[in-house]
A and B are shown apart, each in its own frame.
Chain A
Amino acid sequence: MAEVRLAGVTKSFGTTPAVIDMDMSMGHGEFMVLLGPTGAGKTTTLRLIAGLETPERGDILIDGRSVVGETPAQRDVAMVFQQYSLYPHMTVRENLAFPLRSPVLRTPPDEVRRKVQQVAETLQIAHKLDNKATALSGGEMQRVSIGRALVRDPALFLMDEPLSSLDAKLRADLRVELKRIHAELGATLLYVTHDQIEAMTMATRIGVLENGRLVQIGTPREIYEQPLNLYVASRLGQPRINVLPANLFPGAPAGAGTIALRPEHIRIGQGRPASVVRIEHLGDQTRLHLVLEGHPVVTLSEPDLDLEPGDTLPIEPVNALYFDAAGARIA
């Protein structure tokens, strides 16, 4: 467990800025998720904290101690890589024991055996301990890779899109698993993803990144309900938030350039007429693709709503989000 603080951290590769002036702090036992598209600087932030990159400016503090000059080994962090990075010439057992046998920890053999066994059982890979690391399925590899972080008792866990290369079912299982492990260990965890579901379900707080800058930080609920700008608003929500000219509906506040509508902001039954283009039945929900004065709108509807393409349907906004021309939230 540890507190982590980033103060004005800046890093660029050549002339391309990767992380710009980042300020962030994480408390003990927090599960922080950094959310953003590819190239937003999520992975670079992790690597800076891990010590695999050196910041150009700014300071990184773990438990109040500046770690900028320290090697990754000295920082006492564990990291799970997106691409597993299991040592291919070792067995699962050797992979899990590797951090324990490091010159930093020098764990006695008995304890190595005990800890490896314990972690393997937690992650349900005990029966694969003597397999070569290469003779595993993707899901097993990623569990070993998470296990390699868990066998230690590091100050901080860093996870770089650990679930992104797994199939949907496994991803859902491991999501629950990770959350459970986090609750059990009470560890501080920084998790990077571009998957909004992972962010929403696991995070105690979400940090949204755009082009190397931390745009907003808050609980999943805050980020979803009170986005600071249009970019953050469009990061979360399925189906994606609808962005329309503000003057399409009456009642826009002064200065509003766009109105953004999530499905729950759209009330069907009165208001402006929109025509139905397509209806998608997804089982648990039904998606309506509408067109309102040439602007596409996607919303949800009751499954039993009897509609066909070409029908007309009046809609109106409820508690919508308004943004000015530059994208900043005004209401």
Chain B
Amino acid sequence: MSSFSVTEPSRRLKWIAGLLVVGYALVTLMPLMWIIATGFKSSSDSIAYPPKVVFEPTLEGYVNLFTVQNRASPEQLAANPPETWYEQIVHDKGMMISGPSRFGERFMNSVIIGFGSTFLSVFLGTLAAYGFSRYRVPLKDDLLFFILSTRMMPPIAVAIPIFLMFRATGLSDTHAGMILLYTAVNLSLAVWLLKGFIDEIPREYEEAALIDGYTRFQAFYKVVLPQAATGIASTAIFCLIFAWNEYAFAVLLTSGTAQTAPPFIPTIIGSSGRDWPAVSAGATLFLLPVIVFTILLRKHLLRGITFGAVRK
């Protein structure tokens, strides 16, 4: 490519653009880096002033996150010598592990509810979007507007009726209830996003498949779905991020069995003083699934514009 091309920016512009991007990345990534670093600090390092950038890493925060500990007398400590590396860490503080914490459970709840509702939203959303895109649905525009209108106010605005409904139907603090709720909130977004993607897929592909001897459903499954993969992947990411991060409903509607990680993490603070490393460790682990999920689906996000076998 010639450097004199009209579309090619000059060297200097590229430098400026690069600097801006790096600067922006630093600003957005700094809090994240700080959380990750704090997770590996000792309690005293985490609240040191001036803040420590270089520190000796420890897994204390992670051990605190996953265990419940009691202060122990020197006799008790001497009677129970530590057997594992994590018992050693606790032992050194003059404490003893009395059992596992609830973080593991809460984390699993988040996984079940987050991925469950994402799957349902995308599954139902794809079918609805296909229907709206391809069939003559009576009152189509009104229905689509109605679907969109469920997003016109923040979901938490309907918190009280939902709270009452959940209490009346016994859905409070259940996995099914939370999956249902997050699916309901995400579905409108999923339908609209996916309809846009499916509208872009020319009908001729399905018509060709119909003539090639396939049924309508097979044509959908074999021809439309693979081409909607990009849209499905990005919709899934949006749905997962919402369900994964949702805090207000989780606080309101869950307390035990179905409590997700977001309302649980702040409670760590209270248990034994201000344990910032444990909170940061929780936050770090909490970030991981979304990051992994996004990276896994990145291929589909980037694959993007390969539509080209139909001339427009």
Contacts and interface: CB of A to CB of B under 8 A. Distances in A.
Interface of A: 50-52, 71-73, 77-79, 81, 83-89, 98-99, 102-105, 133-134, 138, 141, 148, 152, 165
A134 B311 contact: no
Given A83-B311, A84-B310, A98 B218 contact: no
B311 A88 contact: no
Contacts of B218: 103
13 contacts: A50-B207, A73-B214, A78-B211, A79-B207, A79-B211, A81-B207, A83-B312, A84-B310, A84-B311, A85-B207, A102-B214, A103-B218, A141-B309
Nearest to A90: B226
A331 B205 CA distance: 48
B5 interface: no
Contacts of A105: 213
B220 to A, nearest CB: 13
Contacts of A81: 204, 207-208
B214 A103 contact: yes
Given A83-B310, A83-B311, A134-B309, A88 B212 contact: no
B208 A103 contact: no
A89 B202 CA distance: 13
Contacts, number: 82
A72 B204 CA distance: 13
Contacts of A51: 210-211
B88 interface: no
Nearest to A145: B208
Residue among B208, B306, B308 with most chain A CB within 10 A? B208
Residue among B209, B306, B309, B311 with most chain A CB within 10 A? B309
Interface in B204-256: 204-205, 207-215, 218, 223, 226-227
Given A79-B208, A84-B310, 10 more contacts: A73-B212, A84-B311, A85-B202, A85-B205, A86-B309, A86-B310, A87-B205, A103-B218, A133-B309, A134-B308
Interface in B103-122: none
Interface of A is mostly: loop
A115 to B, nearest CB: 14
B145 interface: no
Contact of A165 (B212, B215, B311): B311
A88 B306 contact: yes
Interface residues of B, number: 23
Q: Which 7 A-B pairs have the closest CB atoms?
A: A102-B213, A104-B213, A99-B212, A85-B204, A88-B309, A86-B309, A72-B210
A81 B208 CA distance: 8
A78 B129 CA distance: 29
A104 B307 CA distance: 28
Contacts of B204: 81, 83, 85
A51 B223 CA distance: 19
A177 to B, nearest CB: 20
A85 B227 CA distance: 13
Contacts of A88: 227, 306-310
Contacts of A72: 207, 210-211
Interface string B291-312: 0000000000000001111111
B239 to A, nearest CB: 23
A79 B206 CA distance: 12
Nearest to B312: A83
Contacts of B312: 83
Nearest to B207: A52
Contacts of B215: 71, 73, 103
Contacts of A86: 309-310
B307 A73 contact: no
Contacts of B210: 51-52, 71-73
B182 to A, nearest CB: 30
Contacts of A152: 212-213
B219 to A, nearest CB: 10
Contact of B223 (A77, A87, A99, A148): A87
Contacts of B211: 50-52, 72-73, 77-79
Contacts of B310: 83-86, 88
A148 B204 CA distance: 14
Interface in B12-56: none
Contacts of B207: 50, 52, 72, 79, 81, 85
A141 B309 CA distance: 8
Contacts of B214: 73, 102-103
Contacts of A52: 207, 210-211
B202 A103 contact: no
Contacts of A85: 202, 204-205, 207-208, 309-310
A85 B311 CA distance: 8
Given A52-B207, A79-B208, A89-B227, A84 B213 contact: no
